Structure 1
Amino acid sequence: MTNRIKIAIDSPAAAGAGTMAKLISKNYNLAQLDTGKIYRLIAYYKIKYPNKFNLKFLKKKIYNLKISQLSNKTLLNDEIGLQASIVAKKKSIRKLVHTFQVNFAYNPPKKFNGSCLDGRDITYNIVPDADIKLFITASLKVRATRRYKELKALKKDVSFKEVLKSIKKRDENDYNRKISPLVKTRDSFLINTTNLTKRASFLKIKKIIDRKLIKNGNL
């Protein structure tokens, strides 16, 4: 790869964007950031430290944030997911996270060939000049089923109905918030994973990326 590349992915909850971002990052040696996990971590702080939770407290936490913290299984909790979509509406919090995300996207560690970020407003707000933009989606029922299975594998006591309701509520929050709502940009490739396996989804995306990288002289 001749130049460092930037890949931006937007998607609604449980569409498979996080999984795809991991596979893409591994295949092309990119520094990966699941931006939704940052909001989940903030939601976790809000629940765990209600008396300390303020902007000063958050600034310190985000400044010292290590990517490894985002792999905490606790962050997959449904209550945290719902809280994440609520804190993500706050302008002051989004500004704080925005700075961290932009720095990560444009200044990944030198051992990587570039960066790959997934979230809700990456393609137009965080990395508007990304080399490849993807919008990954799937039907509500399929997304709820995936998240339900994921939570059950973690031994979480939750019903499918609760998960479905939670994801539906998150969709409402993500698509309708006034600040950085979830939208598909005109220059984003639409990937619907409803009827695709994990491997089929990745191969479809890989084809798009390879074609673009060859065209741009990066491969």
Structure 2
Amino acid sequence: MKKRKKIIKIAIDSPAAAGAGTLAKAISKHYNLFYLDTGKIYRYLAFLKIKFPKKFNLKFIKLKIKKLKIKDLSYKFLLSDEVGTKASLIAKNKSIRKAVHSFQKNLAYNPPKKFKGSCLDGRDITYNIIPDADFKFYITADVKIRALRRLKELKHLKKKITYKEVLKSIKNRDKSDFNRKISPLRKTKDSLLINTTNLNKRACFLKIKKIIDRKLILNGNL
């Protein structure tokens, strides 16, 4: 795989609803980076499994990934609890992960030319997808706070669900993400820990921006 030279590569790992997606979008916009929410790819595949259960096999998956457009990952129905639960199960499949990883790596190292680099967030980005990333972050927050954030997000989408149900779902996702044998969620030694429990969106962004700017200035890239 060919790799674009002199680009900024940012890798972010986090448990569900920790605020990584919001931060990654803000960072990407500020530094003109290509943004990819890798978890949405598994959610997209989960949706396809629900919609086309009889067609859902590796050949079908590879074809869909090959034709996948970033806009396909923006649909609101991908945020449903049902899709999220199935996505976590699909992510355990070694063959599916291999196909998805190839897609992710290509975008991480070869973002569209109009961007100065790439910013990916997910569960195994820092050690599996972009192990040589210029910046690595592990975003986390208290599980109750994460459940409240997800509930607010789902309520905004007019979803009828209780806090208790969301909390249970988040805990189940954590158990699955941390304990799966293939590419589990974990903090690498070279990832900077950012706890967003008591920080608002702006404070989180400024904290990470300060870290990135310091290194870019030091390397003469800013």
TM-score (norm 1): 0.98
Q: Which residue of 2 aligns with 1:213?
A: 216
**Structure 2 residue identity aligned to 1:16:** G
Cα deviation per residue 1:97-142 (whole Å; 9 max; x = unaligned)?
Answer: 0000000000000000000000000000000000000000000000
Aligned Cα root-mean-square deviation (Å)? 0.9
Structure 2 residues not aligned, in runs of 5+: none
**Structure 1 residue identity aligned to 2:13:** D
Cα distance in 2 between the residues matched to 1:215 and 1:182: 31
Contact 1:8-1:117 at 8 Å conserved across structures: yes
Contact 1:3-1:218 at 8 Å conserved across structures: no
Contact 1:6-1:132 at 8 Å conserved across structures: yes
Q: Give how far 1:212 is off.
A: 1.6
- 1:178 is paired with a residue whose SS is coil
Contact 1:136-1:193 at 8 Å conserved across structures: yes
- The alignment-based identity, stated in percent, is 73
Alignment match of 2:138 (pick from 135, 139, 144):
135
Displaced runs of 4 or more, over 2 A: none
Cα distance in 1 between the residues matched to 2:210 and 2:72: 32
Q: Give how far 1:173 is off.
A: 0.4
- 2:10 is paired with a residue whose SS is strand
Alignment match of 1:95 (pick from 93, 98, 101):
98
TM-score (norm 2): 0.97
Q: Which residue of 1 aligns with 2:45?
A: 42
Cα distance in 2 between the residues matched to 1:135 and 1:85: 19
Q: Give how far 1:62 is off.
A: 0.2
Structure 1 residues not aligned, in runs of 5+: none
Alignment match of 1:5 (pick from 8, 20, 45):
8
- Equivalences for residues 16-35 of structure 1 within 5 A: 16-35=19-38
- 1:7 is paired with a residue whose SS is strand
Cα distance in 2 between the residues matched to 1:146 and 1:73: 16
Contact 1:39-1:88 at 8 Å conserved across structures: yes
Q: Does 2:57 correspond to 1:54?
A: yes
- Equivalences for residues 1-219 of structure 1 within 5 A: 3-219=6-222
